[in-house]
Structure 1
Amino acid sequence: MGFILTMSTMYKHTEANIYSRKFWTVCTEPEELRNTFERVLKEVDFTIVLFNEHHFTAQGYTCFWLLGESHLAIHTFPESGKSYVELSSCNKIKRDLFILKIAAQTNISIA
């Protein structure tokens, strides 16, 4: 007599929220952007998993922080005198505190 093996998989539905904030700043200096944003990420206690950056040949800079809570990316447009910043986080409290602290920086003005 043979055996019939049946498998059943149970799934649990989990809802996730991502809180994003996108803005422009007039700062386009790579070192200033990197230092300021990384300092504030640490002050707010984001978990920095990885940082990477690229300097474009003619002009421009892009960088990102992979966070335990999602990511932060910056793209400069020196020819336009501005940089695009996007923070995505699953932690709304940290995201909101980060934005408050960045807005208080004298070298970074949120447009």
Structure 2
Amino acid sequence: MLTGQTLTTPQVVDVANEHEVGAFIGHHTLAEFHGVEPALLDDGPQLRDMLTGALAQSGATVCDIILKQFEPQGVTVLALLSESHASIHTYPERGSLFMDVFTCGTVAKPWLAVDLLAQAMGAADVRTNTVLRGDTHPCCQ
């Protein structure tokens, strides 16, 4: 886990053709943001737009977005990606959120989407973990 706003780029697995159809490989980035302005964490439309922008800048293709505003507070945003999915779940009362981005293949960079969103939101503390999935596992090689 990392703290602070400096995120490191995880190991990227190279494949012969990064656009190979059916390549069983992916990167799954899990994150927590802390120290975010509570009002922002309760602004569903702004969060949706910020997530969409961060995903696009990271190379992901957004197909659809679902936004759920909770009462008395909190937001969940789910993004269906051509490459897989992304989600954020906010806790305004704690100034925090959970973020999850999984992308199949090697073109989209989920850790970059996390970094971009954390910077845009002004998160004081960011903790991430990126897991390599699929053919990167020793049993599959």
Corresponding residue of 2:25: 17
Within-5 A mapping of 1:76-91: 76-91=90-105
Q: Which one-letter code corresponds to 1:21 in the other structure?
A: T
Aligned to 1:98: 113
Deviations 1:14-70 (A, max 9, x none): 762231101111332434432222112222332111100100121111011100000
Contact 2:23–2:105 (8 Å) recurs in 1: no
Extract unaligned runs of 5+ from structure 1: 1-13
CA separation in 2, counterparts of 1:78 and 1:100? Answer: 20
Q: Determine the C-alpha separation between the residues in 1 that align with 2:105 and 2:116.
A: 16
Q: Unpaired segments of 5 or more residues in structure 2?
A: 1-21, 128-141
> Which is higher, the Rg of structure 1 or of structure 2?
1
Compare relative contact order (CA 8 Å, sep 6+) and give the higher one, 1 or 2: 2
- Equivalent positions of 1:30-41 (< 5 A) are 30=43, 31-41=45-55
CA distance in 1, matches of 2:108, 2:120: 21
Q: Contact (CA 8 Å) 2:55, 2:113: kept in 1 or not?
A: yes
Give the structure-2-normalised TM-score: 0.58
Taking the aligned partners of 2:120 and 2:23, their CA distance within structure 1 comes to: 38
Superposition RMSD in Å: 2.2
Give the corresponding residue for 1:10.
none
How far apart are residue 93 of structure 1 and its match? 4.2
Matched, 1:70 2:84: yes
Give yes or no for contact 2:86–2:101 (8 Å, CA) kept in 1. Answer: yes
AA paired with 1:23? Answer: A
Name the residue aligned to 2:68.
54
Aligned residues: 97
CA–CA distance in structure 2, aligned partners of residues 87 and 73 of structure 1: 7
Which region of structure 1 is more displaced relative to structure 2, 82-91 or 35-44? 35-44
TM-score (norm 1): 0.71
- CA contact 1:72–1:86 (8 Å) conserved in 2: yes
Cα separation, 1, equivalents of 2:117 and 2:47: 11
